[in-house]
Structure 1
Amino acid sequence: MITDYKEIQHSALELDEKQRAELAKKLIDSLDQQIDDDIEQAWIDEVKQRKAEIKSGKVAAISGQEVHKAAREFLKK
């Protein structure tokens, strides 16, 4: 079994694109195993609030394309 970081890195980089992507996903998922219940609930509450605001007409949803356009314009300034 390979235990040296450099050897693991070298071996991983020799994998084909699909295998590297799968490995990357598994590594990232392994970092996200500890879910803070308070943070998780805060996000659920935020989503519910935003959904209610959109349904009530208090705010209007805009497309991702519009957001990206506005962000690009903002960054040009």
Structure 2
Amino acid sequence: MSKDDLLSLPVEERLALISLLWDSLDPFLPMSPAQREELDRRLARLDEDLGDALPWADVRAKLNPSGD
């Protein structure tokens, strides 16, 4: 499939492909020191204020209500 073919897919199919590709990535890919610092900063901020946070499953369900 070409890039243009992929971009012409319906939003639901593109989201499904994004999810499939994301899930296929190795969770232990190396991070640069700057990436690690940023991740640590964001995790600390999240730990400080969980009031506005939504579980990923809820966000995903809102993005893909059909569950496909």
Tell me the TM-score range normalised by the shorter chain: 0.3 to 0.5
- Give the structure-2-normalised TM-score: 0.37
Name the structure with the higher helix share.
1
Q: Which has the higher contact order (CA 8 A, sep 6+)?
A: 2
